[in-house]
Amino acid sequence: MLTGVVPTACGGADMLERQTRATGSIAGPGTTGPSGSAAPAVPVGFALCKDVPRPYAPSGWYRPTPVYVGNEQPTQAVKAWAEKQPGYAGVWLDRDHNGWITLAFTKGTGDIEVRQRELEATLPEVGVVAVEVAWTEPALEDLRRRVTETLTARGWSISTGIPIDRGVVSVYLGVLSKERLDALGPFAGERICVEGADPSTEVPAGSQPRGGDGWRLLGDGLVGQAYRTGVATTDAQYAALWTTAGMVGERPAVNFDTAIVVWLGAVYGSSCPIRLDGVVVDRDRRVLFGKIVVPGNPAMCTDDARPHAYVVSVERATLPQGPFAVQLGASDPPRGVPEERTLVSVDLSSPGTVAADTQIGADPKLVGEVDRLGIVGTGATVSLNDPWRYPIPAGCGAKVLGIVNGVLWETDGLGDTPTLPPEWHAIADVAGDAVVEVTLAAAPPKLMASANGLTLTYRSSALDRAAVPCASPPAP
């Protein structure tokens, strides 16, 4: 029951570069990756975009400094120099090498080693390297045009882009079905990579279910507020919740001895209608959420975040014992909308039990200023000068914080102490994890980490990342 698909409300930006907003992610056993659907098998004849390697310069061309953590690189000045050179093909930032600038030049237009020496002589203080590539940007743009024309002629929703650091045309097909991959046959051997869901996870078209195991749909409509939820345990609360959800008309009867009422104020993009396929109860986490799907796994959705209200009854026998939370999906509410989660502070699993209005409301852990911050972990890329929550896993200690914006961060404020400082150990949860607030700054690059009255300053580390167990993000 804890499986499903993440519907998204997305704009028309390139798939590899856009940020998607989850509108009901279902993260149970078997769900992986940012799309929430199972990782697809490698398609025959085309590489998955995540597997296309980036070109790097020889290791000796990179220096320990400078270190760039944001977008403070003199990219425009470097690009202006490169555009005057023969064979210039593109520019990107390399977070694997301290944020250095990479300049691409096509093969056969000059000795790349000579080009690198010119760079070092002309821009000695800048972190920049030259690499040879077998493509040109105009050629990629032409390939993208031909692919788009071919696939859209079939009436499919697809998204294409040019991740310049890989020198390919990315094609998001929605679903990696044989039919769609076969349609790319005329482009076999060209610089194309594909993305999409495994066909076994495709959400079929169909009407809205009226109920399922342990739940019944009382009403739904394109009304109310997005990113909201609510709970009712009495008929009076039900009447108020029905109005708050934006519903009109007569309310279906509910036996509150055996059931409660839940409102899911979901969100969708106008070009991608959603559907409630079920209600999921995660007893271990004590969370109830909707299995909200986008039929057809579209490649693009408009990013207008419209509301779709679902009001359902849920059998008490399915509820977890004790206090529990209601939210749209298995993932925590996105930053800025703590109202999505409704916390019920009493046990409603027993027949006829009632929660007073004061026992149904916002989760105070999400409403506080610090706790409304986004959560990031090692391997993340964040904006400069904005605070974020950063969890330090049990056993990792605070000497080396991990990798943020491609840089490994280490502090001298703890000497050689490998464990958490007492101030941070005091706020660790039962699993031993501690959450601190981090802020990243440039010129000079530093990371500030604060919690429980203690602030530590972190600098770029020269440690071998492979030798730091907590430095790398967990494998997908």
Specify whether 430 is located in the same domain as 384.
yes
Residues near 21 by Cβ (< 8 Å), separated by ≥ 6? 8, 9, 10, 267, 303, 305, 334
**Would residue 330 count as lying in a domain?**
yes
**Would residue 476 count as lying in a domain?**
no
Residues near 327 by Cβ (< 8 Å), separated by ≥ 6? 229, 287, 288, 289, 333, 340, 341, 342
Residue numbers of the chain with a pLDDT score lower than 50: 1-42, 369-371, 476
Specify whether 54 is located in the same domain as 189.
yes
Choosing from 197, 219, 238, the residue where a domain stops is 197
Specify whether 179 is located in the same domain as 280.
no
Specify whether 286 is located in the same domain as 272.
yes
Distance CA 167, CA 149 (A): 20
Residue pair 256/235 in contact by the 8 Å Cβ criterion = yes
Query: What values do phi and psi take at 239, rounded to 5?
Result: -60, -45
User: Which residue type is seen at 148?
Assistant: T
**Would residue 85 count as lying in a domain?**
yes
Specify whether 350 is located in the same domain as 252.
yes
Which candidate, 298, 305, 306, 301, places its Cα nearest to that of 205? Answer: 298
Specify whether 70 is located in the same domain as 115.
yes
Q: Provide the sign of the torsion angle of the four alpha carbons 134, 139, 145, 149, taken in this order.
A: negative
Cα 111 from chain centre: 40
Domain housing 238: 211-367
Distance CA 215, CA 14 (A): 38
Q: Is residue 81 classed as helix, strand or coil in its secondary structure?
A: helix
Query: What values do phi and psi take at 82, rounded to 5?
Result: -65, -35
Specify whether 363 is located in the same domain as 377.
no
Here the contacts of 458-464 (C-beta below 8 Å, separation 24 or greater) are: 458/401, 458/409, 458/410, 458/411, 459/409, 459/410, 459/411, 459/412, 460/67, 460/98, 460/407, 460/408, 460/409, 460/410, 461/400, 461/407, 461/408, 461/409, 461/410, 462/64, 463/400, 463/408, 463/410
Residues near 440 by Cβ (< 8 Å), separated by ≥ 6? 69, 70, 382, 383, 384, 385, 404, 405, 446, 447
**Would residue 65 count as lying in a domain?**
yes
Roughly how many angstroms between the first and final C-alpha of the chain, as a whole number?
Answer: 22
Specify whether 345 is located in the same domain as 378.
no
Specify whether 255 is located in the same domain as 402.
no
**Would residue 11 count as lying in a domain?**
no
Which candidate, 40, 45, 67, places its Cα nearest to that of 183? Answer: 45
Choosing from 166, 197, 228, the residue where a domain stops is 197
Distance CA 9, CA 298 (A): 10
Distance CA 168, CA 182 (A): 19
**Would residue 460 count as lying in a domain?**
yes
Specify whether 354 is located in the same domain as 380.
no
Query: What burial letters (b/e) apply to 114-129, b meaning 16+ CB within 10 Å?
Result: ebbeebeeeeeebbbb
Specify whether 307 is located in the same domain as 378.
no
Choosing from 197, 220, 241, the residue where a domain stops is 197
**Would residue 110 count as lying in a domain?**
yes
User: Which residue type is seen at 321?
Assistant: Q
Number of domains in the chain: 3
Distances (CA, A) of 317 to 230, 314, 321, 348, 453: 19, 9, 9, 9, 44
Q: What is the pTM of this model?
A: 0.68
Q: What is the pLDDT of residue 184?
A: 94
Q: What is the pLDDT of residue 367?
A: 65
User: Which residue type is seen at 300?
Assistant: M
Peptide bond connecting 444 to the previous residue in cis, omega within 30 degrees of 0: yes
**Would residue 453 count as lying in a domain?**
yes
Q: What is the pLDDT of residue 368?
A: 57
Specify whether 327 is located in the same domain as 412.
no
Q: What is the pLDDT of residue 199?
A: 87
Q: What is the pLDDT of residue 14?
A: 25
